[in-house]
Structure 1
Amino acid sequence: MKLIKINEVPEKGVSHNAKLRKRELISCGELGPVTTYSRAVFPPGEKAGAHAHADVAEVFTILSGAGEIRINDVAYVLAAGTTVVVEPGEVHEIINTGTADLVISYFGVLVPFENDSLNRWNVSK
């Protein structure tokens, strides 16, 4: 069992943009195929630049603020209560288009490649 109080977790930078801050609640390797579980804060006008993960799906839930997510060059509106699943290989970026912080809770899940003979997490192929 692990009990985590988000306000006791130290803030750190996000690799996609040093102005973004996150509190990582679960780190890669702590819980099977979960690569991270974090809460990130995007100040107005900031973004996590376009990138893709070959073997990770990401799930983003908007807690507050407004923005957009671009997936494979298609823009989708983000508002509180919205959840978006980004599949492995999809190029995505998140942009705060509002005037207040965009606060997002997100996690990543390792998805083995089709030919992954180890299939370490017994994920269905």
Structure 2
Amino acid sequence: MEKININDILEFAADRSARKALFKEGHLDSGLLLYAPGQTTPDHKHSDIDEVFYVVSGEGTITIDDKEVLVKEKDVIFSPSGEKHGFYNTSSDNWVVLQIKINTGKMD
């Protein structure tokens, strides 16, 4: 078992969003996505990764297949492999999102 306190690893970069790795084992990879106000991750998709996103704090917009969805603290989002998604911190506060990736082994 391994324990990490999120407050110990929160480091927001001024120039771009950051990802802080948490746990990686087998097909599982988890991390925190850290967005200062105005920061983004461009739309992209994965052919072999399902992802779950949990908003720890703050709010922002997730684009899912070109549709913008406002998400806030305690929202959970599932993005299956092959679905295009991106992130944009539209608020004036920092945005923290837990990312859980599972490698499905599929190939598109």
TM-score (norm 1): 0.74
Give the aligned partner of residue 25 of structure 1: 22
Choose between structure 1 and 2 for higher RCO, CA contacts under 8 A separated by at least 6 residues.
Answer: 2
With over 3 angstroms needed to count, the CA separation of the structure-2 counterparts of 1:104 and 1:10, relative to structure 1, is closer
How many residues are matched? 106
Deviation at 1:94, TM superposition (A): 0.7
Post-superposition Cα deviations, 1:33-78, rounded to whole Å, max 9, x if no partner, equal 11x2111210111111111000001111111111111111011111
Partner residue of 2:54 out of 58, 61, 69: 61
Q: Is the 8 A contact 2:12 2:18 kept in 1?
A: yes
Q: Is the 8 A contact 2:35 2:95 kept in 1?
A: yes
Q: Distance in 2 between matches of 1:43 and 1:37?
A: 20
Deviation at 1:19, TM superposition (A): 1.1
Q: Distance in 2 between matches of 1:53 and 1:113?
A: 10
Partner residue of 1:41 out of 34, 47, 50: 34
Structure 1's consecutive aligned runs of 4 or more residues displaced over 6 angstroms after TM superposition are none
Q: Distance in 1 between matches of 2:18 and 2:4?
A: 18
Give the alignment's Cα RMSD to 1 decimal.
Answer: 2.2
Give the aligned partner of residue 3 of structure 2: 3
Give the aligned partner of residue 120 of structure 1: none
TM-score (norm 2): 0.85
Deviation at 1:9, TM superposition (A): 5.1
